[in-house]
Amino acid sequence: MFTLAWTPEAKAAYSELKAKAEAGLAARRKKSKSKSTKSEGLFKQVHKTLTLLASNPKHPGLQTHEYRSLPHPYDPKQKVFEAYAQNKTPGAYRVFWCYGPGKRQMTVIAITPHP
């Protein structure tokens, strides 16, 4: 198991997704609707991705691979990775991460729609 560290940008993106999902849930409950909103579904997918990353970064569902366009925040010689939160959808969300700063830690660099 890894513990997650966050860049300020990643934490802000996660908090924004969570807030939108909670607002969607509140509106849905107020209208007595049972179908989840898109914001709820997106947050659920991103949260699941982060949970899988922390437990097994090589999980096949994450389709983790190296991503070369972002610099490593701690050591420029180290690799940055991309994991899929969504697939086969326009603007699919991705989680960018790296190992570090400590042992058994990984840092979430960004949570964003596919560039």
CATH number of the structural domain spanning residue 37: 3.30.2310.20
Residue 115: HSE in the Cβ half-sphere, 13 Å Cα cutoff: 10
Domain interval for residue 71: 3-113
Tens of pLDDT along 25-43? 999 889 888 888 899 999 9
Tell whether omega for the bond before 101 is within 30 degrees of 0, i.e. cis.
yes
Taking the whole predicted model, whether its pTM rises above 0.75 is answered as: yes
Compute CA distances 68 → 20, 23, 65, 98, 108, whole Å: 30, 35, 10, 12, 15
pLDDT band at residue 11, thresholds of 50, 70 and 90? Answer: very high
